[in-house]
Amino acid sequence: MPEFKVDLCTMDESRYFNRDISWLSFNYRVLQEAMDPSLPIYERIKFLAIYSSNLDEFFRVRVGVIRHSLTISKEREKAELLLSQINEIVDSQQKEFGYVFRETVLPELERNGIRLILDGHFTKKQQSFLKQYYQEELIFHVQPILLVKNKVVPFLQNGSIYLLVALTSKRKKASKTGKSANTATKRRKYAILKIPSDVAKRFVELPAANSKFCITFLDDVIRFNMEEIFKGYDIEFAYSIKLSRDADLHIEDEFRGDLVEKVKKSLGKRKTGEPSRFLYDEKMPKDAVSFLKTTFKLKKNEMIAGGGYHNFYDFFKFPNPLSPALESFPRLPLRLPHFDSFPSMFEAIKTKDWILHFPYQNYDYVLRFLNEASFDPKVFEIKATQYRVAPESGIVNALINAARNGKKVTVFVEVKARFDEESNMRFAQQMASAGVNIIYSLPGLKMHAKAILVSRESGNRRGVRQYGYLSTGNFNESTAKIYADHGYFTSTYEICDELTLFFKELEKRTNEISFQQLLVAQYNMVPRLHELIDREIKNAKNGKKANIVIKLNNLEDESMIDKLYEASIAGVTIEIIVRSICRVIPNQTFSKNIRVRRIVDQYLEHARICVFYNGGEEEVYLSSADWMKRNLLHRIELGFPINDPTLKSELLEIIQLQLKDNTKARIIDEHLRNIHPPKVGLIHRSQSETYELLKNKYYQVFADD
């Protein structure tokens, strides 16, 4: 199937791609990885799961916002058009998704001796197993509800899978006279039952058949036992349905009252949010679809026909009886022998600045930094931000231990981090109980900066030395295994003094502090970025080489895009590496010097980097911030320079590898298509080459020493 082509009507004023259509282009790029025959089959299955998970969140979050616009008269027409375009594109992608799953993934599994049974054609041995499995594992979790029009309307839980079952009463046996005791025409009734995938495995491993490992959906285990569930009825059909609900918290006023309590109350409402997408099996009869629409009071544009199985993100846990065969070979995170040669983290960081590249290198250094700080007798204060942390967070445990060991610990906890609100509040309560000073979300802003500052007694003239850690990604040791980010350790006065000012400003909010080294959203980030772009524009107009490289997750803010357009018109060459949303339209008169690419590979590209050529004296900044309105205008973000020549050179090497990638990179064209770059000359795959670069560099240097 050809990739979708975007019409100009999906753009705003023909200068920017629509952000949501652009995001769908990114998710299609994820789907492309599931089509790649060079990948192990379980890696391709993983990308199907990622695509499904991404799309589910898109409907819960973005489509929920768009549907809210339908209630505003002046935005209704535009919102209706956008929803129509989204549904058309998603429908096309879903058809391709189904084709990839049925025609490539399932046959490849079969060739490797693994059969996913979808048609209910079970052997007698498997049938006996399924009956026993239902009685022993599922019977107490299956609770069917008979639907009575205008009387019994059960609440559909967000994201749960249900079966709509059509029932007819069984005819009574014929009497001795030969006449049926019930000659009335059978009347169809409907019932729904929830697939209990929250308490049972979504995939059930069956007894082998024909030397094949056999697996089936939990859904089909329920279908097979339907007569046991609905005794006294004939089963006409059972089709899958699923409702996604708006996930926005809709906090009306963050500036008055207790914000944490408002978030807690809103979390309860999220579970009962307005419908954003109602999925049903496209094979379902029209009268059954109409019944659902009426019963659950759904709007026509909320109902979307789909496949027979939903929640494909459950394929993250699809069993592999041949593991580790058929999977990607994991790269072991690298250590830094030179770093390890120091007796402590503080000695290492005092000696020089360090940069770490995750997940290529071990995240243990971050945990070690905080653990050492928690028991070092010379450390007297720790300050940190928290946006998203791991479920069993070593970061949080270290901060708790520090407080228990008498350190003064302050943590700025963001309670509005979507889908992590409950987790963050729970960790905040644990830390507060241990004596950590907790400062919650700032009204109207989100804390998205990634920073830690440790203050330690020293024999220098100040009597104290500070150690900072800044990152492009969250303090989360779980996601650090798959998110490609950069972390920076420093004890330089220039950075640590400004980090001190940054944390003081968070506590007192004077809005009077100026920053020279750090880029801080709400303070100097946007003006400074404009200055750096303007300098490249000036150099280009003076006939000098001018170049900008930007790597982001999302590029959406129109004012920043306009600045890039201005630079392009002036002759500045601009390379953009973007993972997700990109509203820049390339190959136009105002963007002829802009080239946009995205990389989707084994790791999720998450780092934010800006490189300004500056007449050959490159300035390199890492940042927590994407170029989106929400990041630049409604969040606290941190950007920081990499001034050390060796570290700067290392980052530039990694960026060049990504610009050379002709295997997992795609060029985004003016129609939002993901175009494979021509494979001219050597084959480059940046993630593999980055790992080899770092392994050879650090281990070779250490061996030479």
pLDDT in tens, 597-610: 999 999 999 999 99
Percent of the chain with pLDDT over 70: 91
Q: Do 544 and 690 have their domain in common? A: yes
Q: Which domain holds residue 194?
A: 123-173+184-319
Query: What is the domain-level CATH number for residue 490?
Result: 3.30.870.10
- Please enumerate in sequence order all residues whose Cβ is within 8 A of that of 268, keeping only pairs 6 or more positions apart, or say none: none
| Secondary-structure percent of the chain, ordered helix, strand, coil, rounded to 5 | 40, 25, 35
Q: Do 257 and 208 have their domain in common? A: yes
- Please enumerate in sequence order all residues whose Cβ is within 8 A of that of 676, keeping only pairs 6 or more positions apart, or say none: 662, 666, 667
Q: Do 364 and 436 have their domain in common? A: yes
Q: For the stretch 501-522, what's the b/e string if a residue is b when 16 or more beta carbons lie within 10 angstroms of its beta carbon? A: ebbebbeeeeeeeebeebbbbb
Query: What is the domain-level CATH number for residue 77?
Result: 1.20.58.310
Asked if residue 401 belongs to a domain, the reply is yes
Between 81-95, 124-138, 687-701, the lowest mean confidence (pLDDT) is in 687-701
Bridge-based pairing of strands 212-217 and 114-117 is parallel
Asked if residue 80 belongs to a domain, the reply is yes
Between 175-189, 200-214, 304-318, 423-437, the lowest mean confidence (pLDDT) is in 175-189
| pTM for the model | 0.91
Per-residue pLDDT, 149: 72
488-511 confidence digits (pLDDT tens): 999 999 999 999 999 999 888 777
Q: Do 99 and 204 have their domain in common? A: no
Q: Do 501 and 558 have their domain in common? A: no
What is the total count of domains within the chain?
A: 4
For residue 352, pLDDT beyond 50: yes
pLDDT band at 616 (very low <50, low <70, confident <90, very high): very high
**Whole-angstrom Cα distance, residue 113 to residue 551?**
42
- Judge if the upstream peptide bond of residue 324 is cis by omega within 30 degrees of 0: yes
Per-residue pLDDT, 574: 98
More confident: 586 or 69: 586
Asked if residues 250 and 266 have their Cβ atoms less than 8 Å apart, the reply is yes
Q: Do 528 and 651 have their domain in common? A: yes
- The question of whether 357 is a catalytic residue gets the answer no
Looking at every residue in the chain, the average pLDDT score rounds to: 90
How many helices (H) and strands (E) in the chain?
21, 30
Maximum alpha-carbon separation in the chain? 111
**Encoded tokens for 211:** 């030397």
Q: Do 311 and 380 have their domain in common? A: no
Asked if residue 98 belongs to a domain, the reply is yes
- Residue after which a domain boundary falls, among 319, 353, 370: 319
Asked if residue 581 belongs to a domain, the reply is yes
Per-residue pLDDT, 237: 94
Q: Do 105 and 136 have their domain in common? A: no
For residue 27, pLDDT beyond 70: yes
- Residue after which a domain boundary falls, among 512, 547, 580: 512
Q: Do 138 and 1 have their domain in common? A: no
Which residue in 357, 448, 606, 684 is the catalytic one?
A: 448
pLDDT band at 418 (very low <50, low <70, confident <90, very high): confident
Q: Do 92 and 133 have their domain in common? A: no
Query: What is the domain-level CATH number for residue 255?
Result: 3.30.1840.10
Asked if residue 550 belongs to a domain, the reply is yes
Q: Do 100 and 188 have their domain in common? A: no
- Residue after which a domain boundary falls, among 78, 112, 146: 112
Asked if residue 179 belongs to a domain, the reply is no
Per-residue pLDDT, 71: 81
Q: Do 193 and 284 have their domain in common? A: yes
pLDDT band at 275 (very low <50, low <70, confident <90, very high): confident
- Please enumerate in sequence order all residues whose Cβ is within 8 A of that of 140, keeping only pairs 6 or more positions apart, or say none: none
Which three-class secondary structure state does DSSP give residue 582?
A: strand
Asked if residue 332 belongs to a domain, the reply is no
Asked if residue 224 belongs to a domain, the reply is yes
For residue 5, pLDDT beyond 50: yes
Asked if residues 579 and 26 have their Cβ atoms less than 8 Å apart, the reply is yes
For residue 647, pLDDT beyond 60: yes
**Whole-angstrom Cα distance, residue 564 to residue 543?**
18
